[in-house]
Structure 1
Amino acid sequence: MAIVSMWKRCCLTQDRDLICHIKTGFVLLVTLTLTLFVISCIYVVLFNPLKHPHIWFNPVNQTQSYNVLTEGSSGKKFVWNFLTTPQIFQTTTAQKNHISVYHHVAHPRNYHFILDEPNKCKQDPFLVLMVPVAPHQREARNAIRSTWGNESSVQGKAVLTLFLVGLTGGAEAQQQLEEESRQHRDLLQSNFVDSYFNLTIKTMVIMDWLATRCSQATFSMKVDSDMYINLENLMSLLLSPNTPRQNYITGYLMWNQNVIRNKKSKYYVSEELYPEPKYPTYVLGVGYVLSNDLPQKIVEASKDMKPFNIEDAYVGTCLKRLGIKPSRSPDPSQFRTYMKDSKGHDLSKVIITIARSPKQIIEFWQSVKRHK
């Protein structure tokens, strides 16, 4: 019995030692985990770039990959660094619920051209067509190049078509874009993040290019890449003796439009960005034509206008500040949204209409040509 008792006491001692070892190991593991967590937090704070909560309206946070030397509109030279892989942009709940933007972020002088065609307007074009398009949408650009963008003279007046893109997000995509630029000489690229929320920046960069590179043109037009244009009809409008050549902008007019306050809508604009309940009358951004004195005036007005992400309404607020009202077209039906069909009879009357695809731009174009 004494031997059994001694054996039991030995076993209890061993159990306590085992438990003690387990507890000690657990404490060491927890301590090590906490230490690594603290070190990780310190590294993120000290070494990672601070992400501004308003990233969707700011230039991209760039990781060095390769350099491009460019010259800004002021003549100052800049070196830009580009990513080797695409960046992912995340929007937090806080960003969605509280968006605040610095006053001058959308002003075009915050951005600089990476690809440029500064001598394109030396031949004094009468009309310059500026097409904002995403870098990857080469099919859309090619559809335009093979249709209305290929017309260099309409009714004896010189016409020029150029495409504007933002950052590609990667070295390979950038190299492809540069090759396309060398081939066609019709690409402009600026160093803003190319996204839906930055369409206001994109539009203001277009205005800046027109003001600084092509002020000698008589008219210009901002037109989306999914639009069909009948240049004969457009030129007839512009050559009409009743069409002003100063302080003139026309297209599909938007009257009495409410500002969208629903945070779930992609058209949402906060009261902080635009406090009024309604927008001033503006021209729908799918395509509007303007006398070419306006781009410089719009750029100047934008210096004092807080930017928001509805680009056509933003241009409308700049025009209101200038005391300029958009003009109603003599035939408003010529500025159409969608056509019911592609019959040549209907298309022969329009100035612009939305096409559903690059293929449909070509179909519309061919249909009009067949019915001439």
Structure 2
Amino acid sequence: MFVKFRRPQRCHFVQVIFIGLMLSGIMLYWDKLNSFSFDNLSANPYHFLGMGPSFRNSSFTVSRAEARKFSNYHYLINHKNTCESSNVLLLLFVKSFPQNFARRQSIRLTWGNERYIDGELGVSVKVLFALGVHPHLKDRALIQGQLFREDQMYHDLIQQSFIDSFYNLTTKLLLQINWAHTYCSHAHFLMSADDDMLIHMPNLVTYLKQVHQAGTRDFWVGRVFNNTGPVRIKSSKYYVSPHLYPWDSYPAYTGGAGYVVSRDVASRIHQASLTLNATLHIDDVFMGICASVIGVAPKAHNFFSGEKKSPHHPCIYKQMMTSHGHESDLQELWGQATNPEVQKVDSGFTGKLYCSVIKCALLCNPFIRNTYPCNPSTIF
């Protein structure tokens, strides 16, 4: 069911301008506040380490035989011929736990529906779910049987024999990288995403087609994290010991909830991973280490979300790429975000001004953080 969105009436033009000016002031204030925290950090994130990134990367280097141990798992479910098509725009891996059948089904009915993508968007996108085995031995056989039946119906599971847990996320990343290299190296882009993501596939496809047509290389885009360091609190699941990672700062990386790399980057990441110690269980940081080795830096996109859901509004949907944290509302939001009326919401001068005001109010609210950034390029 489509939702009818209200458009601003011209009689409200003066009020819209007044509110817009007021909220623009708020936006500028928060933008300066956000900038302040980064202005106090050196542009070189390694300035306080006493060592450069090349030293750190070399410390992660191991022999190929040693690195092979981190991905030496056999396939329980595989589909070698998924990418038989010669013109695959995007290979999209969804990280999913074995028991998350409902989430996978919601994705198949919405943004991961390949028939919809091919018919409505006119491109080839291959959507696969990356899995290990259920961590609890007493439930493993039952859930594994369910997975075999699920795959017989949908043919979209890629599963290896490692234990599927938070602490094996880097192993799951290696599964994605190795499978893409072996069976789908001709795909123009590789994406990794969580199974509680909403991906606005029409917007993403339009964007990636433009990037591909421009011949862009060294492409790695998502929600970028700079100047972050390891958590040293032992009770945290993100805890990383000084023995495992002795430095105070991670290389720049994109949040593991959803990011895209170009084919050339995916190939070089694969080569880098063949000689790196993958003990570090935080997969997006490990991806950052791999990228640092090959000299590729991530690029931030304003509409790749952080850890929280994006605000619900047509002015946001018009530019949305990803939104995180959709465990039960994915199908409802997909219907709203892809409503054809969304494309008209910012038409004309009044519509553009209206959406600028709305985005300013939604994204520059100091009590709502970690969705899309509050800055002029996002608002206007």
Compute the TM-score of the two structures, normalised by the length of structure 2.
Answer: 0.66
1:327 and 1:106 map into 2 onto residues whose CA distance is 30
| Structure 1 partner of 2:54 | none
Show CA shifts across 1:275-327 (max 9, x none).
22100100110000111233332222123322201110111001101111112
| Structure 2 partner of 1:164 | 130
In the alignment, is residue 240 of structure 1 matched against residue 240 of structure 2? no
Compute the TM-score of the two structures, normalised by the length of structure 1.
Answer: 0.68
Partner amino acid for 1:157? Answer: V
Q: Find the partner of 1:363 among 323, 329, 332.
A: 332
| Structure 1 partner of 2:352 | none
| Structure 1 partner of 2:244 | 273
1:109 and 1:259 map into 2 onto residues whose CA distance is 24
Whether the aligned pair in 2 keeps the contact of 1:107 and 1:302 (CA below 8 Å) is no
Show CA shifts across 1:74-111 (max 9, x none).
xxxxxxxxxxxxxxxxxxxxxxxxxxxx9846766412
Stretch of structure 1 that moved more, 138-147 or 340-349: 340-349
Q: Find the partner of 1:223 among 193, 202, 210.
A: 193
2:73 and 2:182 map into 1 onto residues whose CA distance is 13
In the alignment, is residue 188 of structure 1 matched against residue 153 of structure 2? no
Superposed, 1:187-206 pairs within 5 Å as 187-206=157-176
1:285 and 1:244 map into 2 onto residues whose CA distance is 25
| Structure 2 partner of 1:140 | 103
- Give the superposition deviation at 1:335: 3.7
Q: Find the partner of 1:209 among 174, 179, 200.
A: 179
- Give the superposition deviation at 1:244: 4.8
| Structure 2 partner of 1:152 | 117
1:369 and 1:197 map into 2 onto residues whose CA distance is 35
- The 3-state SS of whatever aligns with 1:180 is helix
- Could you list the runs of 5+ residues in structure 2 that have no partner in the other structure? 1-61, 343-380
2:291 and 2:308 map into 1 onto residues whose CA distance is 27
Stretch of structure 1 that moved more, 183-192 or 164-173: 164-173
Whether the aligned pair in 1 keeps the contact of 2:198 and 2:326 (CA below 8 Å) is no
Whether the aligned pair in 1 keeps the contact of 2:203 and 2:320 (CA below 8 Å) is yes
Higher strand proportion (structure 1 or 2): 1
| Structure 2 partner of 1:129 | 92
| Structure 1 partner of 2:80 | 118
Larger Rg: 1
1:166 and 1:344 map into 2 onto residues whose CA distance is 37
**% identical aligned pairs:** 31
Change (3 A) 1:244 1:312: farther
- Give the superposition deviation at 1:369: 3.0
- The 3-state SS of whatever aligns with 1:293 is helix
Q: Find the partner of 2:313 among 343, 366, 370.
A: 343
1:126 and 1:118 map into 2 onto residues whose CA distance is 18
- Give the superposition deviation at 1:140: 0.4
If asked which structure has higher relative contact order (CA below 8 Å, sep 6+), I would say 2
- Could you list the runs of 5+ residues in structure 1 that have no partner in the other structure? 1-101
| Structure 2 partner of 1:313 | 285
Show CA shifts across 1:122-143 (max 9, x none).
0132111100100000000000
- Give the superposition deviation at 1:119: 0.2
Change (3 A) 1:180 1:236: same
- Give the superposition deviation at 1:340: 5.5
In the alignment, is residue 252 of structure 1 matched against residue 223 of structure 2? yes
Show CA shifts across 1:187-246 (max 9, x none).
110011000000010011111110101001111110100000111111222122586543
